[in-house]
Amino acid sequence: MPTHDTSPDADPLRILVAWRPDADGTEALEFAAWLARTTIVQVRVVMTYVRIWPTSSRNKTSSKYKKWHRHQAERYAKKVRSTLTEVNLDQSHWDDRVAVFSDGTSEATMLTQAAEDYDADLLVLGTNATAPKGRFRAGSTAETLLHSSPHPVALTPRAVKLSKRGVTRINMALLESDYTQHTQLLHFAAQLADRWKVPLRLVAFSPMGLTKTSDKISADIARTISDEWHEQALSMLDRARDAVMENVPDLDVSTDIGAGSGWGGAVDALKWKKGDLICLDSVERGPIERVFIGSTEAEFLRHVQAPVLLNPAPRR
């Protein structure tokens, strides 16, 4: 996603929201409205209808299919317009073709193609309906896109409360022990915070008790390892902050570390605000630029309390 210019004559951030009227919530649409209070955006919403049977090109040209598709598209567009109004996204931010209806055999493929057709800067996904309140759970489509999307992806927790003032702080999550593995995202997060004129918080985590121990000696070893990681994380945060200040000296940068039992305890140990946006790095996987999360990132995402932005990993 580009570090977007907020000046009145800037090109808008092109946001594609994946949303279904039969979904349990409107979090993905609310996220788009939230960004519109932060920067200039242009929003399009796409609904996918998954067919369990193949459709030949001949069938798609039939009058019956065209009538069905037109009817579904009109119904969907009406619902999108009313819901965007409900979440307070002003019509000035709507794309000329604000609602798109697509049918096919793979939802992930359809969303990727829709993002390509729209030249989207960001693809927004909601959470699975089974997610606890304030948490994110990836459904099958989101799971696929989190391992394949060539476009930046935003994830919204269930029933998340967002600031009426838009994004008020960028949070960069450092999940590795070496900040230099996040150099590109570090630069992106700093530039984004600078453009949006909000503070940047660099956060690391020290989840304790991830390894089960059966005796006191093993427990002491695990505690020692945890203490060493905590010290390494503090040192990493200091170096990362110095790197940011060297490039963006006027930026308000803070550091914090969440320590607790497991990933849930570590994430909950930090204070989160309604205006927080988390930037998370993708894992580098081969020559293709795409979003890809590993097991650590997947576990972290289960416990986040704020929207998350994932950029594709750079090509190797």
The total of other beta-carbon atoms located within 10 Å of residue 177's CB is 12
Model pLDDT, residue 58: 54
Binning pLDDT at 50, 70 and 90, where does residue 183 land? confident
HEC profile of 230-287 = HHHHHHHHHHHHHHHHHHCCCCCEEEEEEEEEHHHHHHHCCCCCCCEEEEECCCCCCC
Binning pLDDT at 50, 70 and 90, where does residue 213 land? very low
The 3-state DSSP class for residue 181 equals helix
| Burial class of residue 170 in the structure, from the number of CB atoms within 10 Å of its CB (0-12 exposed, 13-18 middle, 19+ buried) | buried
Q: What is the pTM of this model?
A: 0.89
Residue 50 host element (H or E) = strand 41-50
Q: Please say if the pLDDT value at position 284 is more than 90.
A: no
Mean pLDDT of the chain: 88
Q: Please say if the pLDDT value at position 56 is more than 70.
A: no
Strands 276-280 and 122-125, sheet pairing: unpaired
Q: End-to-end CA distance of the chain, in Å? A: 19
Binning pLDDT at 50, 70 and 90, where does residue 182 land? confident
Q: Please say if the pLDDT value at position 61 is more than 80.
A: no
Q: Under CATH, which number does the domain 169-272 receive?
A: 3.40.50.620
pLDDT tens figures, 150-160 = 999 999 999 99
User: Which residues make up the CATH 3.40.50.620 domain(s) of the chain?
Assistant: 13-155, 169-272
41 within 8 A of 12, measured Cβ to Cβ: yes
Model pLDDT, residue 206: 86
Average pLDDT over residues 241-267: 94
Q: Which residues pair with 101 in a beta bridge?
A: 47
User: What region does 176 belong to: left with phi over 0, alpha with psi -120 to 50, or beta?
Assistant: beta
The 3-state DSSP class for residue 196 equals helix
143 within 8 A of 111, measured Cβ to Cβ: no
Please give the Cα distance from 243 to 241 (Å, whole number).
5
| Burial class of residue 20 in the structure, from the number of CB atoms within 10 Å of its CB (0-12 exposed, 13-18 middle, 19+ buried) | middle
Closest among 180, 175, 122 to 282, alpha carbons compared: 175
CATH of 13-155, one of 3.40.50.620, 1.10.1740.10, 3.40.1130.10, 1.10.10.10: 3.40.50.620
Q: Please say if the pLDDT value at position 57 is more than 70.
A: no
The least confident of 18-27, 46-55, 237-246 is 46-55
Two structure tokens written together for 69: 């598709």
Average pLDDT over residues 18-22: 91
**HSE-up of 55 (CA within 13 Å, CB side)?**
17
Question: What is the C-alpha R_g of the chain?
Answer: 21
Identify which has the larger pLDDT, 211 or 238: 238
The 3-state DSSP class for residue 209 equals coil
Between helix 216-247 and helix 183-196 the angle, nearest 10°, is: 50
Positive or negative, the CA dihedral 185, 187, 190, 194 is: negative
Binning pLDDT at 50, 70 and 90, where does residue 226 land? low
Model pLDDT, residue 184: 87
